[in-house]
Amino acid sequence: MTPRLWAVGTLVVLLVALIGYAAVAVPWHRAPAPRADQLAALGQLPAEQVARSRAFHAALRPGSYAGMALALLIALLLGLTPLGARLVELAGRPFNDHWLARAVLGGLLVVLLTELLTLPLAAWRHTIVVRYGISTQTWGGWSVDLLKSFGVGAVLGGLVLAGFFTVTHFAPRWWWAIGAAGAAGLVVLLSFVLPVVVEPVFNRFTAMPDGPLRTELLELAARDGVPVKDVLVADASRRTRAVNAYVSGLGPTRRIVVYDTMLTEATPDEIVSVTAHELGHAKDNDVLTGTIMGALGAAVAVVALYLLGSWPSLLRLAGVDSIAEPRAIGLLLAVTTIAGLISGPAQSFVSRRVEARADTHALELTADAETFEAMQRRLGTVNLSDPDPPAWEHAMFASHPSTVQRMAAARAWARGDR
C-alpha cells in the first residue's frame, strides 16, 4: 500500500475517532433558556448600560471584521502566489539557503509580516477599549504585552517549524504520520505547560491571603470533588477593568485564579458563583476533552495537508514543488487560515454547549440561582458584553451563551425546568 493510501485510511480513522469522541464527550443537550425569560431579563437591565454595551461592540465591529478580511487577504497573497516562497528564500539566503534556516526564519518572517500589516487595526481596537474604559493600559504597557506575545509566539512557532520541516526533510514519504503524532503530542504537552510557563509571562500571580473567601473557595472545590493546588490572584487590573475567574491547569497544576478586579467589583457570593462555574469545567474534564479533541484535530490537519499537497494546481499557484518544503510556508498559512475560518463556527457551537453545562453545574453546586443571575449581570455590565447580540453573529463567533441566555437559564432552573 502506498503512503497516500495509508494517509487516506488514517484520515478516515482519525475523523471517525474525532466525531465519535465529540458525540460522547460534548454536552449536546442545553438547559432551557426560554426566549420570554431572555426578553424579561433584558428588560430589567439598565437601558443606558445596554445602549453603552451595544455602542461599544458597534465601534469594535468594523475593525474586527476588517482585521479578519485583511488577515485572509494576506494569507491568500502569500500562499496562492509565489510571494510567500520568495520571502522564505530571502530569509534563508544569508545562511546559504539551508533548509532549516528557510523553515524557521522564513516562517517567522511570513508571520511577522502578517502581524505588522494587521497591527494598525489592533492599535485601533486598543483605542476603543481604552475609550470605553475596559482597558487600563497605556500605549507603553500595550506595546510591552504585544512584544511579549510576539516573543512567545516566535519561540513556540520556531520550535514547531523546526520540528515539522525536520520531519519532512528526513522522512519525505511518511512525514504525515510522524507529523500527525507529533502535532497531537504537542497539543497535549501545551495543555500542561501553558498554565505554568506562559501565563506568568503576562500576569503576576500571588496566593490569595488567608480569609473567609479563600476558605470558602477551597471548601467549594473540596465539596465538588475537584482537588486544587492553590487559590491565586492575577494582577489583571494593570491592563483591564474586566472581571473574570478561572480554573487553570490539569492534575497537579490545577489552581483557581481570580482577577484582582473581581475582588473589588463583585461580592464574595458572586465570586463563589463564577468559581463554581469554573469548577464545573474541571469536574466534567472539559480541559481534557478539549485537549483530546484538539490533539485529534491537529492530527487530522497534518494528514489533510499531506493529501492536499499533491494537488498540482495549488502547488503551481504557490510556486512550489511540494507542500512539505519550507518554501511552501505561505501556502500552509493560507490553508490553515481558511480552515480556521470554516471550522470556527463549529468550535464556537461546541464551546457554548460546554459553557452552558458549566452554568448548570454552578447552579447545582451553589443552589443559588439569584446570585448566579446577579453575577451574569455583573459580568455583562463590567465587561461591556452585548447582552443580546445579533443571532447570526452570536452563532458565528460567540464562545459563551449570551448574558440574557444565561440569566434565562438560571430562571428556568429555579422553576425546576431542567
What pLDDT, in 10s, does the model give residues 274-322?
999 999 998 998 988 999 999 999 999 999 999 988 889 999 999 999 9
User: What are 92-146's pLDDT values in tens digits?
Assistant: 999 999 999 999 999 999 999 999 999 999 999 999 999 999 999 999 999 999 9
Is 281 among the annotated ligand-binding positions?
yes
Query: Is residue 192 scored above 90 in pLDDT?
Result: no
Average pLDDT value over all residues in the chain: 92
Q: Is the dihedral of CA 264, 265, 268, 274 positive or negative?
A: negative
Q: Which of 37, 224, 270, 278 is catalytic?
A: 278
**pLDDT at position 191:** 82
- Least confident stretch, 240-249, 347-356, 405-414: 240-249
pTM for this prediction: 0.90
pLDDT of residue 358: 95
* Residue 238: per-residue pLDDT: 87
Location of each CATH 3.30.2010.10 domain in the chain: 204-284
Contact 134, 59 (CB under 8 A): no
98 a known binding residue? no
Residue 367 and residue 364: Cα distance in Å, rounded? 5
Active-site residue, 359 included: yes
For residues 188-202, one letter each, b for 16 or more C-beta atoms within 10 angstroms of the residue's C-beta and e for the rest, the string is beebbeebeeeeeee
Q: Residue 29: its pLDDT value, please?
A: 85
Q: CB count, 10 Å around CB of 19? A: 11
Confirm whether residue 89 is marked as ligand binding.
no
pLDDT digits (tens, 9 = 90+) for 324-333: 999 999 999 9
Annotated catalytic residue 278 = yes
325, 359, 373, 388: the catalytic one is 359
What's the pLDDT score for residue 33? 92
Candidates 3.40.630.40, 3.40.50.2300, 3.40.50.261, 3.30.2010.10; CATH matching 204-284: 3.30.2010.10
Rounded to the nearest 5°, which phi and psi values hold at 132?
Answer: -90, 5
